[in-house]
Amino acid sequence: MSKAVVLLSGGLDSSTVLAMAKERGHEVIALTFDYGQRHDKEVECARAVAEALGASEHIVMSMPIGHLLDSSLTRADREVPEGRSRSEIGAGVPSTYVPSRNIIFLSVAASIAESVGAEAVFIAANAVDFSGYPDCTPEFLYAFQRVLESGTKAGKEGRPIRVEAPVMDMTKAGIVREALRLGVPLGLTWSCYKGGEKACGRCDSCLLRLEGFGQAGVRDPLEYEVRQ
């Protein structure tokens, strides 16, 4: 069985991607980063999802660099945007952008993949219903694929690690439907930019998630402080 490393944040998208990688026949190594984000809720959810979906291994990598990064997802003194309209979300790069995050995450994932003989790295990048992050675009992943082809031993030997982004062109509603088809434990996932007992229902991530569930005709099993 081929191996794949899956970047798992514990959110709806990455949990669905993990299930998709397994359906494609891969032995999945889940990789989660504890990088100094505002809360550890997503790390806890990633652990639960990895176990529920049967990842062969789950690596939680501690990388406490959040205090160095200019983002409202890592600095408590910066406000997470709330209540933005659908036209505002994705129109620019918001304060929740974490500088070079996917460059860092994919680099580590590719290093592990090359070391264990995995043939692919899966990432839940999405360029349809997203917050406008430049490292979640086809252009970025195409460029990173070229890096792996030219800057790794595997690439030089003609067997470069593939970067797979199976939900890149899917709507959030489409991701919800795929998650249901694959039996993803949606109640274990977490998408909110804030930690807490309940998701806030007001940040961009919550709004996109709730919109996706609504368009899919399914009620989100998570509890929210506010349901838009």
pLDDT in tens, 178-217: 999 999 999 999 999 988 889 999 999 999 999 999 999 9
Residue with the two structure tokens 């983002």: 71
Check pLDDT > 90 for residue 90. Answer: no
Other C-beta atoms closer than 10 Å to the C-beta of 129 total 22
Check pLDDT > 90 for residue 166. Answer: yes
Counting DSSP H helices and E strands in the chain, the numbers are 7, 5
Q: What is the pLDDT of residue 86?
A: 80
Other C-beta atoms closer than 10 Å to the C-beta of 211 total 18
Check pLDDT > 80 for residue 68. Answer: yes
Report the alpha-carbon distance of residue 61 to residue 191 in Å, rounded: 19
* DSSP SS3 for 57: strand
Sign for the CA dihedral angle at 135, 137, 142, 143 comes to negative
Written as one letter, the residue type at 5 is: V
Share of the chain above pLDDT 70, in %: 100
Find all residues with CB under 8 Å of 63, minimum gap 6, and list them: 33, 34, 35, 36, 104
pLDDT in tens, 16-26: 999 999 999 99
Q: What is the pLDDT of residue 83?
A: 84
pLDDT in tens, 95-143: 999 999 999 999 999 999 999 999 999 999 998 877 789 999 999 999 9
pLDDT in tens, 29-41: 999 999 999 889 9
